[in-house]
Structure 1
Amino acid sequence: MVEHRRFGNLLPHLILWVGVLIVAFPVYIAFIASTQDNATIANGQMSLLPGGHFLETYYRTLFVGSSGTTREPVGTMLFNSFVMAMLIAVGKIAISLISAYAIVYFRFPFRMTIFWLIFITLMLPVEVRIYPTYKIVADLNLLDSYAGLTLPLIASATATLLFRQFFMTVPDELLEASRIDGAGPFRFFWDTLLPLSRTNMAALFVILFILGWNQYLWPLLITTRDDMQTIQIGIRKMIVTSDALTEWPVVMATAVLAMLPPVAVVVLMQKLFVRGLVETEK
């Protein structure tokens, strides 16, 4: 018998709402600031209610640009960040699936040595290999290109490890049944392993998309043209040295717009994301 307490969950819910307010209040302030005029924000007279410049500010942000060190419209920056995040997420998952499949289901010399070499790369921070990676990209003439933004970041030891651990839990009977049916390695991978890995791929996609979307250091190094910069670089360039010259409504509108794609990905893939993290039986 389950005992229902009317006030038993009051404290946990109160703590939850306080946490939500702490996280959401800065986002609300950014939205409110994006609807005000620049003089009101610069004078410190911004109210907590929306202003009357919503359509004007967001139209200018998306299609015109700011007067900071970058004049590229935010719509272009959003597109660049979206392409970069998608290519990184899809590329990491594809390469990790193939490499994990090869390590688990194929027998070849130095198989485990190769796996441990991949695993050891987790101990190397990005800053350690940033210069040689940049040198290679520059020598291949990939600066200011989507290939230069994404290819050096596609390989993922973490995703390879996760898919390897999952493939090792797949019963050997499935492999034997596929062989009896005349399925080759590719068909077994495509018809059996990929459907079983759907929730894992969804969970990794959400994490890797947000990881790619929030990249700052690598796009800062690899892009020199305004039309190839990502949204994070654009926000930084909009903020000039003098606060009086910074168009804060445009900056805040850009910050709000930068939050929307990751939030949309999490909301749309919430069920698969949770199942991929907590599901233990396949």
Structure 2
Amino acid sequence: MVENRPILKIVTHLILIFGIVIVALPIWITFVASTHDEARMLQAPLPLLPGGHFFENFTKTLFGSGLAGSEVAPVWRMLLNSMAMAMMISIGKIIISLLSAFAIVYFKFPFRMGFFWLIFITLMLPVEVRILPTFEVVANLGMLNSYWGLSIPLIASATATFMFRQVFLTIPDEMLESARIDGAKPMRFFFDILLPLSRTNIAALFVILFIYGWNQYLWPLLITTDTDMTTIVMSIKQMLEAAEQSPQWNIIMMTALLAMIPPVFVVIAMQKMFVKGLTETDK
């Protein structure tokens, strides 16, 4: 039994507060920088308290062309591109992984486990390793500068397939036998039994995959040459390079702040199901 000592509570709370400060300080500085004008951000020392230009910078950043002197799309367009890419990747990965795990667990066909291990081995082949052949395939299919080109090469997921396979293996065989007795076809069993039992795992995986898709940098940088198809993450890098000639750190920080909002919103909105999907089951 752990003793309840006041000194331990104080120490643990101090450590927790210290950790929160370390994590939150860069976000606070980003927010503060987005509330000041361009001239103040070029003066030393950097401000630590918010200014009065937040809404002005917000409007200029979201509906303008971002950073002056840089060839980037309006920030609202970049957010839309990143949202479309993240949603297509996360939903596509979940659908393909669910169907793959369903086939591997519940269908008996030759070399079934061999196919599973072939899928699992792809964990050792990230996008960076197979980027040249993948780019050639996407280019030959005419999917450069398109949402399909941004998302389809990143949809397959061995991790998600393995996760759903393990979830399906924990479902009692009696449920499958009961479904067969009731005359349920395989896809009826899939939609009526497996999907409801896997909803918390799907929610947890969606959060992880959405953030994965949102933070993609190398692949969008490679296949997009049209500024209207750039994503928010790669555009922040372009803004930083342009800032060496025309520093507008208030615009850059506001762009970074806007880029944080969708992933944070997804995590907060699905927090309960995310934790439940990683710690509990509905079975």
Amino acid in structure 1 at the alignment position of 2:255: T
Distance 2:83 2:68 in 1: 24
Task: Mark the runs of 5 or more structure 2 residues left unpaired by the alignment.
Answer: none
Q: 1:91-102 alignment to 2 at 5 Å? A: 91-102=92-103
Q: Offset of 1:279 from its aligned partner?
A: 1.2
Shift in Å at residue 239 of structure 1? 1.8
Residue 123 of structure 1: how far off its partner (Å): 1.1
Partner of 1:74: 75
The corresponding residue for 2:244 is 243
**Contact 2:78/2:232, CA 8 A, preserved across alignment:** yes
* Structure-2 separation of matches of 1:126 and 1:82: 20
Corresponding residue SS for 1:52: coil
Q: Which residue of 2 aligns with 1:84?
A: 85
8 Å contact from structure 1 (residues 42, 244) kept in 2 = no
Whole-Å Cα distance in 1 between the matches of residues 45 and 6 of structure 2? Answer: 43
Judge conservation of contact 1:42–1:243 (CA < 8 Å) in 2.
no
Name the SS of the counterpart of 1:47 in structure 2: coil
2:205 aligned partner? 204
Q: Which amino acid aligns with 2:226?
A: R
State yes or no: 1:49 paired with 2:49: yes
Q: 1: distance between equivalents of 2:128 and 2:271? A: 32
Quick one: distance in 2 between partners of 1:186 and 1:177? 15
Residues 27-78 of structure 1: CA deviation (Å, up to 9, x unaligned): 0001111111222212324321111211110101000122142242111111
Alignment match, 1:128: 129
Give CA deviations for 1:186-233 in whole Å, capped at 9, x if unaligned.
100000000000011011000000000000000000111111100011
Q: Deviations over 1:86-137 (max 9, x none)?
A: 1100000000000000000001111111111001111113221000000010
Partner of 1:272: 273
Q: Shift of the alpha carbon at 1:5? A: 4.2
State whether residues 69 and 242 of structure 2, in contact with CA within 8 Å, keep that contact through their aligned partners in structure 1. no
Q: 1:110 to 1:254 in 2, by over 3 A?
A: same
1:6 CA displacement: 4.0
Query: Within 5 A, what are the aligned runs for 1:1-282?
Result: 5-65=5-65, 66-240=67-241, 243=244, 245-279=246-280, 282=283
Distance (whole Å) between structure 2 residues aligned to residue 207 and residue 172 of structure 1: 30
User: How far apart are the structure 2 equivalents of 1:281 and 1:2?
Assistant: 31
Q: Structure 1 245/225 Cα, relative in aligned 2: closer, same or farther at 3 Å?
A: same
Q: How many residues align?
A: 282
CA drift at 1:242: 5.6
Structure 2: distance between partners of 1:115 and 1:45: 57
Counterpart of 2:31 in structure 1: which amino acid? F
Structure 1 window deviating more from structure 2 (91-100 vs 125-134): it is 125-134
- Aligned to 2:8, the other structure's residue is in SS state coil
Post-superposition shift, 1:18?
0.5
* TM-score using structure 1 length: 0.96
State the SS of the aligned residue for 2:241. coil
Whether contact under 8 Å (2:72, 2:235) holds in the other structure is no
8 A contact 1:68–1:240 mirrored in 2: no
Q: Give the SS at the match of 2:44.
A: coil
Whole-angstrom distance in 2 between the partners of 1:111 and 1:202: 27
Question: CA–CA distance in 1 between the matches of 2:239 and 2:85?
Answer: 21
- In structure 2, the residue corresponding to 1:143 is in which secondary structure? coil
Change (3 A) 1:242 1:274: closer
Give the ranges of 4+ consecutive aligned residues of structure 1 lying more than 6 Å apart after TM superposition: none
Secondary structure of 1:240's match? helix
